[in-house]
Amino acid sequence: MAAAGAAGHGPLAGVRVVELAGIGPGPFAAMLLADLGADVVRVDRPNGGGLAIKPAYDITNRNKRSVVVDLKAPDGADRVLDLADRADILIEGYRPGVAERLGVGPEACHARNPKLVYGRMTGWGQEGPLAPRAGHDIAYIAVTGALGMIGAPGEPPAVPANLVGDYAGGSLYLVVGVLAALHHARATGAGQVVDAAIVDGTAHLASMIHGMMAAGGWQDRRGANLLDGGCPYYGTYETADGQYMAVGALEGQFYEEFVRLLGLGEYASARKDVSRWGDLREAVAARFKTRTRDEWTAVFEGSDACVAPVLSLREAPHHPHLAARGTFTDHSGITQPVPAPRFSTTPTAVRSGPAMPGTDTADVARDWDVPDLLKGSAGPEGSAELDGSGEPVGSGELVGDSEPKSNREPKSNREPKGSTQ
């Protein structure tokens, strides 16, 4: 594995980012910026938690520093505005209107720092009929059509964890957006608001598919297309030991090598003959069931057949290619992916483990020249305590319902019911 803490601070060294604590795509986006070298200060809540695990294991908070600010305290908003005044980027993931009510919305921040890039991470976006409603990754990708594309025909759509919506359609688009806005701010002196909605990003991810569908090259149903498992040489197959192999032999030369190594040379001419795809799929499935995953991995080793073993999360770090590249590292006792992508001149690294709430308040107050940050500081909080439900006490929820619970009004005072909190 790669050595953790290697020299190098990344291409964003010198960029200052304020992250208003939440969970989900916002913290992951902030981690990406931190991995690239930005000085990310996470503003945690008193007694607040993130995921329902101890903070020491939440690697989305690696390479960051943490301060604790109570935004409901009389001077809480001022402490955040002091940080925003010295920051290049601010990221928040509250429902629309919440940051404004807390006194740290775009208008208040830009009054202090006109160059600030204000990144807003939500599921539904800042506008639209669903903007004030709660939601999670699965709902966001459902309405965009992305979820409906994944899975076998005749079966429920397969849930791709929260990778497609939260992280691909959310975090990555927020990072692209705030960095583009930062480039503009440095050129013009004008900051702006970046509205990163998971529904927008996820829909955008399917741009190529929409083009193929318009051209008649994609059927609007699962398991009927070249890239969704409908093609017998682009999918997964079970092996003799109950494991799986992934096949992606799309191009002619790769397909020829695939059927040759599989021992199905008689199907060399079946690649473009859709009428034979049913027989081809059955033959491929039967062949893969004759050997174990490791045995088939050895068969395809060193070939261009585009076949790979399907590994678990625990197995992945030990794959020879990933091990050779140092794709994973061990830091603070946790095996984790190294920062990506890689830079030839400004290398990145896992410089520090997950930021523990409040442990960096004094250092940030000094480094960012915000001495008032120390006033009424809650100090370090070793780990979030769990209540009887197993949820961190005082924790927020994922995008779509991410105002700190301690900041929510009683339900009777919410207008409309269930919205904007």
Question: pLDDT digit string (tens) for 168-178?
Answer: 999 999 999 99
Rg for the chain, CA atoms, rounded: 24
Number of neighbouring beta carbons within 10 Å of residue 383: 14
Residue 379 confidence (pLDDT): 55
Task: Answer yes or no: is pLDDT of 420 > 70.
Answer: no
Q: How confident is the model over 191-200, as pLDDT tens digits?
A: 999 999 999 9
Task: Answer yes or no: is pLDDT of 3 > 60.
Answer: no
Residue 380 confidence (pLDDT): 56
Per-residue tokens: 194: 């970046």
Q: How confident is the model over 254-270, as pLDDT tens digits?
A: 999 999 999 999 999 99
Residue 1 confidence (pLDDT): 66
Task: Answer yes or no: is pLDDT of 72 > 80.
Answer: yes
Residue 415 confidence (pLDDT): 33
Beta pairing, strands 307-309 & 328-331: unpaired
Task: Answer yes or no: is pLDDT of 209 > 60.
Answer: yes
Residues with catalytic function: 136, 166
Residue pair 249/303 in contact by the 8 Å Cβ criterion: no
**Average pLDDT along the chain:** 89
Q: How confident is the model over 295-351, as pLDDT tens digits?
A: 999 999 999 999 999 999 999 999 999 999 999 999 989 999 999 999 999 999 999
For residue 43, which of 54, 26, 185 has the smallest C-alpha distance?
Answer: 26
Number of H helices and number of E strands within the chain? 13, 11
